[in-house]
Structure 1
Amino acid sequence: MNKGLLEGKTALIFGVANRRSLAWGIAQAWGAEGASLILGYQGERLRENVEELAASLPKSAHALCCDVADDGQIEKFFAAVSERSPSVDLVLHSIAFAPKEALEHEFSEVDRDDFRVTFDISVYSFLAIARRAKPLMSRGGLLLTLTYYGSEKVTPHYHIMGAAKAALEASVRYLAYEMGPLGIRVNALSPGPVNTLAARGISGFTQMLKHHQDKAPLRKPVDPAEVGATALFLATEGAGAITGQTLYVDCGYSILGA
């Protein structure tokens, strides 16, 4: 039996909610190549579903509760990780949230509390996870997050999330600079619109999906398996010189002028 590309590596994955989650597509790709996975889920309402998904992976996987809005839970999560594995090689941050009102209002009408919550969950959580993962990544490795083209160009109804994703991409660059000497690479994947639980909370998402499919050079929607395959590439030695980058997995949509 051939040895998997990620055999002997431990991966932490934040953001699996169900089988449609992009985080789940990446978990499958990394798990199929031999990585040992630990899935962090938000709260009790997701526990049974995530545990069932973890059990379906080809190699042993654990599911641990971790609400990234709570520093105490993040500390507890990483303490549990330390007990299970002496080192961590791969970390996926696939977490974003904005209150419904913040997505429905005009951008200038977003109130202070909704702004704070959006940036706390969607951006600061990546820093909090990176800070606690760093001591465990003594062999170097990869910190990976997910973003969207609405960070660069105005996307109707995306509003506050566009600003948050722009801040997330800037965070990728600063973390890459900081952690490069430790052999830790930091990158973001930017898929086109995918029919996930989070995406369906955006008004007009169905129209956004159709527009993308009609206009993207490849004339097709993005398959979560394709996102997983790109994440697998970034986790391997072949991507050893790639850091601080946002890689588009969007069927070419981001090259268009309009």
Structure 2
Amino acid sequence: MSYNLLQGKRGIVFGALNPDSIAWKVAERAHEEGATLTLTNTAVAMRMGETQKLAEKLNTIAISADATNVEDLNNLFIQSMEALGGKIDFVLHSIGMSPNVRKERHYSDLDYNYLNKTLDVSAVSFHKVLQTARKLDAINEWGSVVALSYVAAQRTFYGYNDMADAKALLESIARSFGYIYGRERRVRINTISQSPTITTAGSGVAGFNRLLDFAERMSPLGNATAEECADYCITLFSDLTRKVTMQNLFNDGGFSNMGMSLRALQQYEKGLHEDCECGPAAEEHHFD
């Protein structure tokens, strides 16, 4: 159902790789709500994914850009403003990647070159997006920028690895840049801490299916879906949330405020007398 919340607004959506992507759902919902937008992803992701297919569906263009490359971002904003006919009203940063997670490096044995890549792609790119937009004066007054985060920025989750550090930095950038951009140009900057969601990136986290089940049992409202996250993003892009900025907002069915639920406790009790199948590294990392 459309409420025309974004009628006449222009946006840029980063990270719509395939229909499982939260960014894909956000782009579709923004279009339904009356916005015009451009899509962007890296050249490799554009070749491997289905971004161009979504662009055709939304009657728009997909612009290749590496979010860690300032020159690419500069071209992205200029091309987007030309294609859309004016300044941008909203931006979604839905980017995250960890070579340490992909290579199954334990957090106590990180490859620091990989860590630098994790931080650059998953967090510092957000700063680069904001800095580039500000220098170009590319975002309209009362515009809105949203980045996707996770509760692991505040709490420790087995297997989330250095992505937790990246999300903590991401949220800090939203606060620091949110103050500057808010005072100067009334641009809002927020992060959404989403439930674990089945996406290409999320599925790479160790024990992801178990995490998904645990969060579902813990959350009084259950896990938020990608579609529900998209709905939340739309409200933050709209004029209904003009005074919301510098916030990390939880869209997780209540998980972030829970200690223990009955459903999770019952499941835990069922397994009390069973040996934990923790994998071949169990002895080495028995404190995990």
Structure 1 residue identity aligned to 2:53: E
Q: Which has the larger radius of gyration?
A: 2
Q: Contact between 2:101 and 2:204, CA under 8 Å: does it hold in 1? A: no
Question: Using a 3 Å threshold, how does the CA distance of structure 1 residues 174 and 126 change in structure 2: closer, same or farther?
Answer: same
1:45 to partner: Cα distance = 4.7
- Report the 3-state secondary structure (helix = DSSP H, G, I; strand = E; otherwise coil) of the residue aligned with 1:153: coil
Aligned CA-pair RMSD? 1.7
Consecutive unaligned residues of structure 2, counting only runs of 5 or more, are: 261-288
Per-residue Cα deviation, 1:100-147 (whole angstroms, up to 9, x for no partner): 457722323112211110110011110111122231113330011000
Task: Between 223-232 and 106-115, report the one with greater CA deviation.
Answer: 106-115
Kindly report which structure 2 residues correspond to 1:104-253, keeping only aligned pairs within 5 A, or say none.
104-134=104-134, 135-181=137-183, 182-218=185-221, 220-253=222-255
Structure 1 residue identity aligned to 2:194: P
Is 1:66 matched with 2:69? no
Q: Contact between 1:88 and 1:133, CA under 8 Å: does it hold in 2? A: no
Q: Contact between 2:102 and 2:204, CA under 8 Å: does it hold in 1? A: no
- Report the 3-state secondary structure (helix = DSSP H, G, I; strand = E; otherwise coil) of the residue aligned with 1:142: strand
**Residues in 2 aligned to 1:239 and 1:142: alpha-carbon distance in whole angstroms:** 9
Structure 1 residue identity aligned to 2:74: E
Question: Using a 3 Å threshold, how does the CA distance of structure 1 residues 117 and 7 change in structure 2: closer, same or farther?
Answer: same
* Partner residue in 2 for 1:53: 54
**Residues in 2 aligned to 1:149 and 1:103: alpha-carbon distance in whole angstroms:** 23
* Partner residue in 1 for 2:277: none
Q: Contact between 2:22 and 2:229, CA under 8 Å: does it hold in 1? A: yes
Question: Using a 3 Å threshold, how does the CA distance of structure 1 residues 3 and 45 change in structure 2: closer, same or farther?
Answer: closer
* Partner residue in 1 for 2:268: none
* Partner residue in 2 for 1:82: 81
Q: Contact between 2:142 and 2:242, CA under 8 Å: does it hold in 1? A: no
Structure 2 residue identity aligned to 1:223: T
**Residues in 2 aligned to 1:13 and 1:43: alpha-carbon distance in whole angstroms:** 15
Structure 2 residue identity aligned to 1:76: N
Consecutive unaligned residues of structure 1, counting only runs of 5 or more, are: none
- Report the 3-state secondary structure (helix = DSSP H, G, I; strand = E; otherwise coil) of the residue aligned with 1:243: coil
Q: Contact between 2:70 and 2:132, CA under 8 Å: does it hold in 1? A: no
1:167 to partner: Cα distance = 0.8
Structure 2 residue identity aligned to 1:123: A
Structure 2 residue identity aligned to 1:121: V
TM-score, normalization by structure 2:
0.83
Task: Between 220-229 and 168-177, report the one with greater CA deviation.
Answer: 220-229
Q: Contact between 1:103 and 1:157, CA under 8 Å: does it hold in 2? A: no
**Residues in 2 aligned to 1:22 and 1:192: alpha-carbon distance in whole angstroms:** 11
Identity of aligned residues (%): 29
